[in-house]
Amino acid sequence: MKELEYPFDSDYILKSSKKIRRRLLESGTGFLSKKIAVLGGSTTHDIVRVLELFLLNRGIQPVFYESEYAQYWQDVMFDEPELVRFAPDLIYIHTSNRNITRYPSVTDTPQQADAMLEEQYEHFRVMWEKIEEKYGCPVVQNNFEYPFYRILGNQDAVYAQGRVNFLNRLNGRFCQYAAEHGNFYINDINYISASYGLDKWADPFYWHMYKYAMCMQAIPEFAYNLSNIIKAVFGKNKKSLVLDLDQTLWGGVIGDDGVEKIEIGQETSMGQVYSEFQSYLKAQKDIGVMLNVASKNEYENAIAGLEHPEGVLRPEDFILIKANWEPKSGNVAAIADEMNILPDSIVFVDDNPAERDIVATQVPGVLAPQIGTPEQYIRVLDHAGFFEVTDLSEDDRKRNEMYKANIERQKQQHSFVDYREYLLSLEMKAAVRPFEAVYMARIAQLTNKSNQFNLTTRRYTQSDIERFAADDHYITRYGRLEDKFGDNGVVSVVIGRKDGQEKALHLELWLMSCRVLKRDMEYAMMDSVVHACLSCGIGTVYGYYYPTAKNAMVRNFYADMGFERIEEKEDGSTVWRLDITPDYEDKNTVIRVEK
Amino acid sequence: MDRQEVFERLNEVFRDVFDDDSITVTDATTADDIEDWDSLEHINLVAAVEQEFGIKFNMGQVVSMKNVGDMADIIISRLS
């Protein structure tokens, strides 16, 4: 919904939240339902109200538990029965500097200040550990905003007795904990309050009147930022930027002005603005955002512009460059198609509102933000939080290379007549093994973001994954695939539950990343699962298919795998059965599998 | 802005905030008359009224409002 996309009108959202909510729920979108516990150190009513809108707009339907006023710590430490019953999928702790119970005073020694810092930190740390042990779910924790006054003036940040100094150090400790613990995310209200304007944010009116830690008008920006983390944790990040060229990546129109006249580089102010923007995009690529181009231009001109000696981005930074005179909507749809990603994981960046409108309406799901004028591009894209980082995995950083290799493979595919011969030429190597510690985060990430090749679409947290791995009643497999063009990383996950007698296996999850479609990786996974079954005396495997809006491509997956359909329900879900015997013949003949 | 105009604009704000087009506020309207108007919704209502009239109430004014009539009086005094 446009009204909820950054940059948004906060006053409108606050005033019309009921109407907006009604329309979101009526839109008929398939929502992912999640239970979110909001444990507050101050009033949370309007935060929950606005957060719900932003989450709904991102396809997540939250069910909330709200602690009684300022009971965040007690709820966790004393096992509040209602919270225990609620069994949250995520816990958000909304604390602020109003929850600091003791600050150093000017008469205290630095040692006393250190002791107080330790005391405040411990108060939180014991709670986080309790949550990890009791609930094992992801935790989002606010850090602290600066105080709105400074007893020691500018030296408040310098002396251990100053509150600014105290909060800076406490924030440092929070970050350190986050860096050392998976599933624990800092909601950086220190940054958000600064970005909003601390004096407005900390308006004491709202604290003394209503016990709000920030002013009412700041709540939409605050809640939006929080929703960025939550949607990223639940696998709803965007994946790719599709960029226009003229007036978006450089100033001027290259077809009219020629490559020597476009504005990029240090010569002019406008050129500098575009250079900074290109640097920003290059850094996005390094965190795993896939860059593509959709531009109305001659292809040669597009490449000439990207090869401009003063430019930061190079043609090889992009996966696909569509420069032609076709409508952009067609080019954006083609990019989604060729990369095997869904349109709703694409952000389209174009200075021209008409182009944005066409793409957003013709390719449903694609977001086309109002990026403003060139000097605003970075702020708008950055604050929009499309690609919020939760874990900086090796896979994320290499994603561009992997997709690029994929396009290379597709090109080569056309030069082979026999598909099997083509697959052999890829020299594929796979590792298919039970879940291992180093891949738990990636496996959990895959369960949350795979939509198309996903038989049951069950979403799991990292702690769920760790539990399956440790439980003898489950057979788990992850698959990594490498080939001569590059390493695809972990691309497939299977989880099977043994039945009571340990004679049958129920496949609760089977998913694969679409970047390795039609590579026979599913056969390699199947072979490994079958061998695991046979080695522990299991003779029957049951497969399940639950239809969603996005997984039609695997409707007949189990039939292709040789299963027999034994049940079909009205909602289209199906149950499949395969009897296996020791003379099972491996289905995969093209990938070399390391056991 | 006369009192009637203030009331017309207030009425719109109430309808937006409570998402209910049947609301018509008068001098005597209080939280008891509107089902969803509780102490928490009151915060949002005050913020929306402030935005509508481009003013900011101080704490003393918010505390002293007893009904919509009081609210309108404060708005008129602030606008004049």
- SS3 sequence of A285-353: HHCCCEEEEEEECCHHHHHHHHCCCCCCCCHHHCCEEEEECCCHHHHHHHHHHHHCCCHHHEEEECCCH
Question: Which tokens sit at A419?
Answer: 């598909």
In which band, very low, low, confident or very high, does the pLDDT at A489 lie, cut at 50, 70 and 90? confident
Q: Give residue A190's identity as a one-letter amino acid code.
A: N
For residue B17, the chain A residues in CB contact (below 8 A) are 15, 18
Provide the pLDDT for residue B35: 87
Superfamily for the B3-79 domain: ACP-like (1.10.1200.10)
Q: What is the mean pLDDT of residues A151-178?
A: 97
For residue A16, the chain B residues in CB contact (below 8 A) are 16, 19
Residue A214 C-alpha, separation from nearest chain B C-alpha, in angstroms: 13
Question: Which tokens sit at A92?
Answer: 């958000």
For residue B47, the chain A residues in CB contact (below 8 A) are 14, 216-217
Query: Maximum distance among all alpha carbons in chain A?
Result: 83
Provide the pLDDT for residue A121: 95
| Contact at CB, A14 and B44, closer than 8 angstroms | yes
Q: Taking Cα atoms as reference points, which of A127, A138, A136, A124 lies closest to residue A229?
A: A138
In which band, very low, low, confident or very high, does the pLDDT at A397 lie, cut at 50, 70 and 90? low
Cα–Cα distances in angstroms (integers) from residue A73 to residues A63, A103, A122, A130, in the given order: 21, 19, 12, 10
Sign of the alpha-carbon dihedral angle for A203, A205, A210, A211: positive
Is the CB of residue A202 less than 8 Å from the CB of residue A193?
yes
Residues A3-28: pLDDT tens digits? 999 999 999 999 999 999 999 999 87
| Contact at CB, B48 and A208, closer than 8 angstroms | no
Closest partner residue to B51 among A15, A45, A49, by Cβ?
A15
pLDDT at A476 over 90: yes
Q: What is the mean pLDDT of residues A422-433?
A: 90
If you measure CA to CA, which chain A residue comes closest to B43?
A210
| Contact at CB, A11 and B48, closer than 8 angstroms | yes
A29, β-bridge pairs: none
Closest partner residue to B43 among A17, A18, A210, by Cβ?
A210
| Contact at CB, A217 and B17, closer than 8 angstroms | no
A119 by Cβ neighbours in 10 Å (0-12 / 13-18 / 19+) ranks as: exposed
Measured between alpha carbons, how far is A553 from A288 in angstroms, rounded to an integer? 26
| pTM for this prediction | 0.75
A540, β-bridge pairs: A504, A579
A112 by Cβ neighbours in 10 Å (0-12 / 13-18 / 19+) ranks as: middle
Neighbours of B59 (CB within 10 A): 11
Question: Which tokens sit at A495?
Answer: 């989880």
CB pairs under 8 A between A and B: 41
- Please give the order of strands across the beta sheet that includes A474-483: A564-568, A574-579, A540-545, A504-512, A486-498, A474-483, A429-433, A592-594
Cα–Cα distances in angstroms (integers) from residue A324 to residues A130, A256, A374, B32, in the given order: 58, 15, 23, 64
A216 touching B, CB under 8 A? Answer: yes
If you measure CA to CA, which chain A residue comes closest to B45?
A15
A22 touching B, CB under 8 A? Answer: yes
Closest partner residue to A216 among B18, B43, B58, by Cβ?
B43
Mutate to test the interface with A, among B22, B39, B40, B53 (most CBs of A within 10 A): B40
ipTM for this prediction: 0.79
Q: Taking Cα atoms as reference points, which of A370, A319, A361 lies closest to residue A343?
A: A361
Rounded to 5 degrees, what angle do the CA atoms A377, A379, A384 make?
Answer: 100
Residues A522-536: pLDDT tens digits? 999 999 999 999 999
Q: What is the mean pLDDT of residues A112-122?
A: 95
The percentage of chain A sitting over the pLDDT mark of 70, rounded to a whole number, equals 98
For residue A22, the chain B residues in CB contact (below 8 A) are 19
Q: Give residue A564's identity as a one-letter amino acid code.
A: E
Is the CB of residue A91 less than 8 Å from the CB of residue A63?
no
Reduced to 3 states (helix: H, G, I; strand: E, B; else coil), residue A468 is helix
* Class in CATH terms, A240-384: alpha beta
pLDDT at A284 over 90: yes
Q: Is the peptide bond before A7 cis (omega within 30 degrees of 0)?
A: yes
Q: DSSP letters of A201-243? A: HT-HHHHHHH--SS-GGGHHHHHHHHHHHHHHHTT----EEEE
| Contact at CB, B44 and A19, closer than 8 angstroms | no
Is the CB of residue A450 less than 8 Å from the CB of residue A513?
yes
A14 touching B, CB under 8 A? Answer: yes
Residue B3 C-alpha, separation from nearest chain A C-alpha, in angstroms: 22
The overall average pLDDT reported for chain A is 93
Closest partner residue to A22 among B19, B58, B63, by Cβ?
B19
| Contact at CB, B59 and A205, closer than 8 angstroms | yes
| Contact at CB, B40 and A18, closer than 8 angstroms | no
Closest partner residue to A15 among B16, B43, B63, by Cβ?
B16
Q: Taking Cα atoms as reference points, which of B20, B25, B31 lies closest to residue B7?
A: B25
Residue tagged 């231009």 (tokens): A297
Residue A67 C-alpha, separation from nearest chain B C-alpha, in angstroms: 15
For residue A216, the chain B residues in CB contact (below 8 A) are 43-44, 47
If you measure CA to CA, which chain B residue comes closest to A215?
B47
Cα–Cα distances in angstroms (integers) from residue A197 to residues A94, A385, A438, B24, in the given order: 19, 19, 41, 37
A3 touching B, CB under 8 A? Answer: no
For residue A11, the chain B residues in CB contact (below 8 A) are 48, 51
The percentage of chain A sitting over the pLDDT mark of 90, rounded to a whole number, equals 80
Element counts in chain A: helices (H) and strands (E): 23, 17
Measured between alpha carbons, how far is A61 from A44 in angstroms, rounded to an integer? 18
Q: What is the mean pLDDT of residues A432-447?
A: 91
Neighbours of B26 (CB within 10 A): 12
A12 touching B, CB under 8 A? Answer: no
| Contact at CB, B47 and A14, closer than 8 angstroms | yes
Question: Which tokens sit at B2?
Answer: 């006369």
Mutate to test the interface with A, among B11, B16, B36 (most CBs of A within 10 A): B16
Question: Which tokens sit at A404?
Answer: 């690029």
If you measure CA to CA, which chain A residue comes closest to B15?
A16
A433, β-bridge pairs: A478
pLDDT at A29 over 80: no
Mutate to test the interface with B, among A216, A217, A219 (most CBs of B within 10 A): A216
Residue A13 C-alpha, separation from nearest chain B C-alpha, in angstroms: 10
* CATH 3.40.630.30, domain A417-594, yes or no: yes
Chain B interface with A: residues with Cβ < 8 Å: 13, 16-19, 40, 43-44, 47-48, 51, 58-59, 62-63
Residue tagged 């929950």 (tokens): A48
- Range of weakest confidence among A186-190, A289-293, A396-400: A396-400
Residues A216-260: pLDDT tens digits? 999 999 999 999 999 999 989 999 999 999 999 999 999 888 898
| CA dihedral angle for residue A309, residue A314, residue A320, residue A325, rounded to 10 degrees | -20
Q: Give residue A382's identity as a one-letter amino acid code.
A: D
A287 by Cβ neighbours in 10 Å (0-12 / 13-18 / 19+) ranks as: middle
Domain ranges of chain A: 2-233, 240-384, 417-594
What does CATH list as the number for A2-233? 3.40.50.1110
If you measure CA to CA, which chain B residue comes closest to A18?
B19
| Contact at CB, B43 and A15, closer than 8 angstroms | no
Neighbours of B57 (CB within 10 A): 21
In which band, very low, low, confident or very high, does the pLDDT at A552 lie, cut at 50, 70 and 90? confident
Is the CB of residue A356 less than 8 Å from the CB of residue A366?
no
Question: Which tokens sit at A343?
Answer: 């349109």
Q: Give residue A168's identity as a one-letter amino acid code.
A: N
| Domains A2-233 and A240-384 alike in fold | yes
Provide the pLDDT for residue A394: 65
Categorise residue A68: left if φ over 0, alpha if ψ from -120 to 50, beta otherwise: beta
